[in-house]
Amino acid sequence: MPTVSSLVQLIEQASAKRILEAAPSEDRGLTEHLPYPFMALVGQVEMRTALLLTMINPAVSGALLIGPRGTGKTTAVRSLGDILPLIPRSRCQYGCLPEDIEAGGIDAVCPDCAKKYGEGQPLTRLERVALVELPLNARLEDVVGGINELAAAHQRTMLQRGIMARADRNLLYVDEVNLLADEIVDSILDAAAQGQYTLRRGPLAASYRARFALVGSMNPEEGRLRPQILDRFGLRLIVRGLTDPAERLEAYRRVRAYLTNPRAMVAAYEEQTLAAHQEIQSARELLPTVKLTAEAETAGLELVRRMKIDSLRAEITLFQAARAYAAADARTEAASTDVRAVAPMALRLRRSPFMEKYFEEQQGEETEIKSVIDAVIPE
């Protein structure tokens, strides 16, 4: 008769348990996110400068990268994750901040935050700015939000916020922005203009904060960008391929090193990445004290006048970018040289040939109206 131990062994040999334990675990296809280091980018000084200015001063209203395929636009944006600055985020679901109390008194925040403020408890915590990417295949409900399906399965109705709400005080990146559906473009336009948007689904409605800096990239040969969405990008960059053979060779070598061992490539630039993060953080903290000189303001206004640009956003972007440029250099005064440095990316693609032609055609009627008025009602 077999012993008990041998019986157990016999059963285990014939059981599924032994087969499952012996079977190798299945590769689930998961991976670690290791983006290409921003400090490893070669050339493209204007593009990198625009992205840095956007991180330092969100008031420049983001950046648009325009160029052919393979010029590093998407790689540059996705490499920003490790150098993005830290910002104070509210601990409250209503978004209460200490500056709300400073501007509007204790009644400007919710009762819980008013109590915490009185007790000396912090209302915010430091968190890194996030890079939130809007996929090209995103649906409108993904972007603005919709009904929470999990709650609906339990016969409850709840709204769920979308990508734009999660991008509040973050960078919202849209690759191939010229290929977005019109309804999604319209929703981004509305949120970017107001810093918030309202989601309505049947009897339910909720307003979400959406104070994001918009970063986009596009290839113009795949289609034009609607003027309305183009106007929401403060800085505009024409990204060409590298022309220096030495730079192209260096770019190839770095890409090859990254593809061979991404972790080693990230580690090789870890010190430079940390230094860049700290410099961006310092520049962001210095920014509120940076002021434009009178000469810088005069020079900027003259540039806009000579370029015959109608939109007031030209001056806003130009001056905000100049202040960020000075802050990046640890200066509290933005001079005309700073305006000169950022002017191409701030003034590019702001004139409209259609509007210029329209105004020229309208000039005849304007002249006739003035002559009739002068004849009937002399000055």
Contacts of 212 (CB under 8 A, 6+ apart): 132, 164, 167, 168, 169, 170, 171, 172, 191, 192
Which positions ≥6 away from 230 have C-beta within 8 Å? 64, 236, 349
Q: Are strands 291-292 and 124-128 parallel, antiparallel or unpaired?
A: unpaired
User: Catalytic positions, please?
Assistant: 313
Residue with tokens 């802050």: 327
CB neighbour list of residue 137: distance below 8 Å, 6 or more residues apart: none
Query: Residues near 88 by Cβ (< 8 Å), separated by ≥ 6?
Result: 97, 124, 125, 126
Rounded Cα–Cα distance for residues 58 and 39 (Å): 21
Antiparallel, parallel or unpaired: β 86-90 and 124-128? antiparallel
What is the per-residue burial (b if ≥16 Cβ within 10 Å, else e) of 343-370?
bebbbebbebeeeeeeeeeeeeeeeeee
Q: How far is CA 319 from the centre of its chain?
A: 19
